[in-house]
Chain A
């Protein structure tokens, strides 16, 4: 069996366990109330003595206990649902804030790249990409080019960061060898890459300059 199937099975079992653990008490409490009412129906006329002078009927006592249990369970459920709604709002708010923060960071990075581009006197032929090192891989963080077509080409996919490095494998190996070459051995400054993709080249022909 593959590991992904095992993981899915484990997740399903955990989900089921959580479901049972959280809903079993509710089920028991909600079942006890009607059960007490049913018992009260068959104990009509029975009574017991509370203290020396108090004679208490069994049926009313069971009904009162059942009502109190159901009220408590309902209160618990309402409180839980309110808290869940509150947590959902908080989670959504935090997610929006995190996404907003990430977008702001990407905008800042793009401004930096634009500034760098101007200092390097790049034209619309060039594109700068900032990649974040994540262990043994790269994730595209921000990208900028003066040419909008080049700016939005494959690899950027919107402004969301965390995308996987989307250059072809051969190019990736070349890039890695250049970028992570030890300092002082940067004698090769240009890496001859692959030919541009056909769709990119055709778009370039349609948009001269």
Chain B
């Protein structure tokens, strides 16, 4: 029977957890044996070892993405708020 199996590692920065990497596998019982013998599919230690090689880059991406997303949302929110007055609106233009 096929089931969805998960494994995950956390990615931490200096100030605390930044995020998590989740690995999902849709596999069967027979393939799980292959997981143990061959490929590093859901072996958490193996995943951690590989993630360490790119942890800096992933952490940087997570950090930067937080700022960019917040900026985009803030801009969108402000734009929507300003457009609610139509063409004529008050505030920064005065």
Question: Contact residues of A with B, CB < 8 Å?
Answer: 15, 18-19, 21-23, 80-81, 83-84, 87-88, 91-92, 94-95, 98-99, 101-102, 105-106, 108-109, 112, 115-116, 119-123, 125-134, 138-139, 141-142, 150, 161-162, 171, 174-175, 178-180, 186, 189-196, 200-201, 204
Contact = CB atoms under 8 A, between A and B. Distances in A.
24 contacts: A15-B85, A18-B90, A102-B68, A116-B21, A119-B50, A125-B41, A126-B23, A129-B23, A133-B16, A138-B20, A141-B65, A150-B26, A161-B69, A171-B6, A175-B8, A178-B44, A179-B8, A180-B17, A186-B44, A189-B42, A191-B5, A191-B7, A194-B4, A200-B26
- SS class, residues of chain B in contact with chain A: mixed
Contacts, number: 193
B72 A99 contact: yes
Given A112-B57, A201-B2, A122 B7 contact: no
Contacts of B3: 192-196
